[in-house]
Structure 1
Amino acid sequence: MFKKLGEDIAAIMARDPAAKSRLEVVLCYPGFHALLLYRLANAAWRRGWFLLGRFLSHVGRVLTGIEIHPGATIGRRFFVDHGMGVVIGETAQVGDDVTLYQGVTLGGTSLHQGKRHPTLEDGVIVGSGAQVLGPLTVGKGARVGANAVVLKDVAAGVTVVGIPAQVAISRAKQQDTDFCAYGTSIDMPDPVARALDGLLGEVTALKARVAELEGAPAAGAPANGSNGHRPDPRPDPRPGASRDGN
């Protein structure tokens, strides 16, 4: 356990430029305090000491504002930045090198006793306020943007944003980028705006086509719009007048 805690401290130093020393991390980082108490609570939980595990988890929640169920599975080099309001449910599984920000929920959407919380694979980043709900999987290296609501599986290496979460950056475009705080880059495209732009483009094209069709003569008709016969003369409104003018 102590080896894991040492790795956790090193991960915080690597991902938070505000961290000046290891001692500062140990004394002043609530994310580290919550993780320390989780590791103790989880050890008790796995030994069947459920009440002790829940009590240690409760102490961590009171001290840090971070709630991690002792039954959750969390890998190495885990970092909760800022942390207030983070909730991690009982059957959640978190891989190695995962980063969560404040207000994140890894929650369940059902009442059954089986797997009901998310699985986050290695290297996942979840931005502040994001809600990842249900027994879904967020693939390796994926990013969840701030305030997103994830309700279905997320492929490895992509960035998702919005409610419900949609892919904003594909794996091919993201694979060469470095660590991205909050899972959101400053130049990230808006998938909703992109979809609206596409719809507006199609509407503009359809309007142009309709205008073109309305202004064109019917197929096979003379250019002057007549039917090919000499039009009948307009009737003379005078009483008794014939059509030939007599």
Structure 2
Amino acid sequence: MNNLIRYLDSIVARDPAPRSRWEVLLYPGVWALFWHRVAHRLFRSRLFFFARLINHLSRVLTAIDIHPGATIGKNFFIDHGFTVIGETAVIGDNVTIYQGVTLGGTNPTNGQPGKRHPTIEDNAIIGSGAQILGPVVVGRRARIGASAVVTENVPEGATMVGVKARSTLVAAETWAKEFMPYGTPCKEPCEPSGLARVEQLESELSRLRDQVAQLSAHRSAQEPESPGMTGT
């Protein structure tokens, strides 16, 4: 019971929506993880059919597909559904995944089954719609932005965005918080280079406005006054 309470509290700490633990008990991600724990034990006991059966029922009920072979650590939170996690995926502790994420596999070059799905290390956050493909490693405290496509290893603390995903060069220490909702900072642009570019464009716009004002004043000074009306 204490483990369950700690798990529910870890979700409440990461999600501002629920008003109580009871609400969290209705989350599809919580039930998907529960059924996965059962299916994973059956899978490890080589009862593959029954493991798959529970996996199938869980997918129907929660819209979350977690292969029974996937290894998942403590306090894993799937916020909403439509997530797919492959057989050889390994997920660490306190990982958060938003809706529509795929931890997918790639075809081994030797044609033999093996590690073909990602490893997500502790405290990572995977944004909505992200696709992490192949036996790559997403480092501790890494943030994967929404709809990013990751096909290479992600360093610890990196923030990745885009297709193909690239680092934003923002060090994790810059945003040193235990948890950041949605994976990336919201108040400022992710990339320092992008912020510098915005400042440069604003400066150029200000100069252009000054030039337009000067030209308008000069033109007004050069125009002759209209002749006045004369009486007869």
TM-score class, shorter: 0.7 to 0.9
Change (3 A) 1:51 1:21: same
**Is residue 153 from structure 1 mapped to residue 153 from structure 2 by the alignment?**
yes
SS at match of 1:87: strand
Aligned twin of 1:90? 87
Question: Letter of the aligned partner of 1:21 in structure 2?
Answer: S
1:175 shift after superposition: 5.1
- Report if aligned partners of 1:139, 1:155 keep a CA contact under 8 Å in 2: yes
* TM-score (structure 1 length as normaliser): 0.73
Aligned twin of 1:107? 104
Change (3 A) 1:155 1:97: same
Cα separation, 1, equivalents of 2:143 and 2:188: 12
**Is residue 76 from structure 1 mapped to residue 74 from structure 2 by the alignment?**
yes
Structure 1 unmatched ranges of 5 or more: 202-246
Cα separation, 1, equivalents of 2:2 and 2:55: 21
Q: Deviations over 1:195-240 (max 9, x none)?
A: 995xx99xxxxxxxxxxxxxxxxxxxxxxxxxxxxxxxxxxxxxxx
Cα separation, 2, equivalents of 1:38 and 1:183: 24
1:192 shift after superposition: 11
Change (3 A) 1:190 1:176: closer
Change (3 A) 1:102 1:193: same
1:60 shift after superposition: 0.8
1:23 shift after superposition: 1.9
SS at match of 1:183: coil
1:189 shift after superposition: 3.3
Structure 2 unmatched ranges of 5 or more: 202-232
1:185 shift after superposition: 1.8
1:43 shift after superposition: 1.0
1:154 shift after superposition: 0.3
Alpha carbon RMSD of aligned pairs, Å? 2.4
Aligned twin of 1:215? none
* TM-score (structure 2 length as normaliser): 0.77
- Report if aligned partners of 2:170, 2:191 keep a CA contact under 8 Å in 1: no
Cα separation, 1, equivalents of 2:167 and 2:2: 36
Aligned twin of 1:176? 176
Cα separation, 2, equivalents of 1:187 and 1:16: 18
Cα separation, 2, equivalents of 1:125 and 1:20: 22
Change (3 A) 1:67 1:145: same
1:176 shift after superposition: 1.7
- Report if aligned partners of 1:166, 1:191 keep a CA contact under 8 Å in 2: no
Task: Report the number of matched residues.
Answer: 196
Cα separation, 1, equivalents of 2:33 and 2:145: 23
Cα separation, 2, equivalents of 1:108 and 1:122: 20
Aligned twin of 1:18? 17
Q: Deviations over 1:124-173 (max 9, x none)?
A: 00000000000000000100011100010000011111111111143254
Cα separation, 1, equivalents of 2:105 and 2:3: 27
Aligned twin of 2:44? 46
Aligned twin of 1:64? 62
Runs of 4+ aligned residues of structure 1 deviating over 3 Å after TM superposition are 2-7, 172-175, 187-197
- Report if aligned partners of 1:143, 1:183 keep a CA contact under 8 Å in 2: yes
1:178 shift after superposition: 4.4
SS at match of 2:168: strand
Q: Deviations over 1:16-52 (max 9, x none)?
A: 12112222222x2101010110011011111111111
Aligned sequence identity (%): 49
Moved more, 187-196 or 41-50: 187-196
- Report if aligned partners of 1:119, 1:136 keep a CA contact under 8 Å in 2: yes
